[in-house]
Structure 1
Amino acid sequence: SGEVILAGKLSVLEEQTDPSGGMNIPKANLELRSGDPIQTMFSELTGLDFQDGIILEADLDPKNESFLHDHEVNGVPILPGVMGIEGFTVAARHIVSELGTEGPGFNVSLLRQIRFETPLKFYRDEPRHIIWKAQVHQQNDEMVADVTLSSILKTKLGERKTSGQFSGQVVLEPTPILQPDNWRTVPEWGHDSILSKDEIYQIYFHGPSFQVLEGVQRWDEYVLGKLQPDFTPDSNHLMQLTSHPILIELCFQTAGVFEIGTTGQMRLPSSVGALKIYPNQVIGRDFYALVKPRTILDDEMVFDAWVVDQEGKIYLEMRDYRTVQLPNELDASLVAPFKKALGV
């Protein structure tokens, strides 16, 4: 266990005497966005609870966010898991760098114990009120933020129901994140049977901003997914975000293609054991997800994954990615090309 850091710059008292934790909320929000902020947050800082940490709230409206309409299941927009990861990253980095310390800013070195607990659905295309909570504590030279996302749903009877959506832990360091050595072998694309974009998105539900795959093929012990070449920071604003959500989505969808081909089932993200993101510029490159499936007890599938470019530079590493099955039955004729490309 480490020392809890409530908010170094805000001079919060040790005992909470009011719901805001003694924090000047307007001043805290100004400070959160002062100077040259790391990234514009989609939340307002609303208070401090000594048990749960700093609280940020917002209203997400699918009418205003294209990434929600491009991520619909059975006509209902769902907050993508990668955007939950982006929220963790941004909230933790802002709080630690802007509010928690007087020294230099901190860098996100690792996300771990990520849980996608309940899908955040936008029924009838109506907005949902979301609440981020981040409790930060110090471990040696690192800052560790325990972050949760919950939401409030208004029922037809006018009741307000709160549900937990995501949870995870963000590790931040005061030093720059070191780049690992390049991948030992540059991926070979096109030497084997390729599952095409058109075949993939006959089954996948994703709209344009999340149709990340140009194709998928086998490569040695890996499933290799290639990023659409049209995805650039200019064409897709999600490419500009802190946690590289498009590259994480590239891993998720590549793993999903393998699951469809081997089980005939579509699955959604359930958890990620660890995720390390390197601060490389995502532009002007060919990007590949190298996904390595492995089976553990009770035939449960677990994946490790890496994203590399055409020179072997590593952009992220993912460990222990797991999924949960959707109830929908897939058309066997649509699954057949997946099986053929994967050789199963």
Structure 2
Amino acid sequence: MRPFQYTKAETAQAALQAQATQTSYLGGGTNLVDLMKEDVARPERLIDVSSLQYDQVSSNENGGLSLGAMMSNAETANHVDIRKKYPLLSMAMLSAATPQIRNMATNGGNLLQRTRCPYFFETSMPCNKREPGSGCGARNGMNALHAIFGYSDSCIATHPSDMCVALAAIGAQVEVIGENGKSRKIDFSDFHRLPGDQPEKDTVLEAGELITAIHLDAPVFADNYYYLKIRERSSYAFALISVAAGFQLNGGTITKAGLAMGGVAHKPWKLREAEKFLKGKAPKLEHFEQAAEIEMAEAKPFKDNEYKVEMGKKAIVRALTQAYERTA
């Protein structure tokens, strides 16, 4: 690990004023410190923001709840109001990593996780995300774990977060504060970027901006929900494919659906066409299968990850089925 300066910020303003080139905010450090050890991330200065007072769950103007960015994933997932009103989010967060990591990782940091692409972590290999212009080793290399949607010639990496897949399904906004002290809210669907020709940029955050809260939309999927995570082992493994599924029923008809996938794109992948198809339909297996076929028809796999297409179809159907069986 390279040498760096460390500053512990007591206020948000102090953290913002300390921001400069080659500076990173430090929350729980469960991803950033690993990247520093591997010489992938090379900040010259860390600003510790873990003690800032963004550590509560509160009601918001949308009729939902707001999550402090400095709350741990464990505190958030186990909060009584989250478990009651947003069980899909709780279920997704509790599927991530290990209890020890969830106790350390923060909500804001979870949104900023970097990809687990092995070419990104291996500094001897080309990676446009780590070193822009060096090439993408995965395109013609080992790409069994990589994207089947939304990738570009520059990058085929996937986003690793479970929490973010659930947030994409239920709807949220991310609040950030900038160097000028002004805050802004970003719709969650716009927060993460597709790679395009700048895969080094994971989000739309501007230089120095600090995440302060995640605002959840009013709860609608508290009864019919399921988070399915398919992985190679049951602990400390990232999803090959995951599906966050929730829907609202009225008189045996789906009036609203929220669906997103993980492990398939550079960002949490919102299943908009499947959501549209399911609205007004009965929660039947045939409709779930049709929704899966519609969504996965646009997949463009590589030589090693063709399995994700069929796996994705079955995962969507299974997640929707499990969501329905909660109240069937």
Q: Normalising by structure 2, what TM-score?
A: 0.29
Who wins on radius of gyration, i.e. which is larger? 1
The structure with the greater share of residues assigned to strand is 1
